[in-house]
Amino acid sequence: MATGDGAPGPADSLGFAAGAGTVIHVVGFQLGEEAANSKEIKEEMCRRAREFPKTISDHVLQVSAGESFTTERTLGYQLGIVVVLKNKEALPLYLQHPVGTRCCW
């Protein structure tokens, strides 16, 4: 997790709207065999994650989600989600929200 200080940084190069006080929350998923072998399941998980800003717009500014394209450095994580939150106070609210607790399924 990182907080934005308004200075250009890695989040800016990814196209995120990370500004002063924002929090970047990164989640990696190790999928079960069925999900790992199903393009449809992975696409649906990513689609649902990208809906977070519509569902909990009071806390989430932006979401990016996708499948890993490398296996050498992922430590078994096949899918990742990056959530940009308004501020650090939004993190526990996001994590306690039904969307944050059940995430993509």
Sign of CA dihedral 55, 59, 62, 68: negative
**Residue 92 structural domain:** 2-102
| Alpha-helical regions (H) of the chain | 10-13, 33-36, 39-50, 52-55, 90-96, 98-102
φ, ψ (nearest 5 deg) of residue 83:
-115, 125
- CATH code of 26's domain: 3.30.70.100
Query: For the ranges 59-63, 69-73, 90-94, 96-100, which has the lowest average pLDDT?
Result: 96-100
Q: What pLDDT score does 70 carry?
A: 78
Domain count, the chain: 1
User: Is pTM beyond 0.75 here?
Assistant: no
pLDDT tens for each residue of 22-67: 999 998 988 999 988 899 999 998 998 888 888 887 888 999 999 9
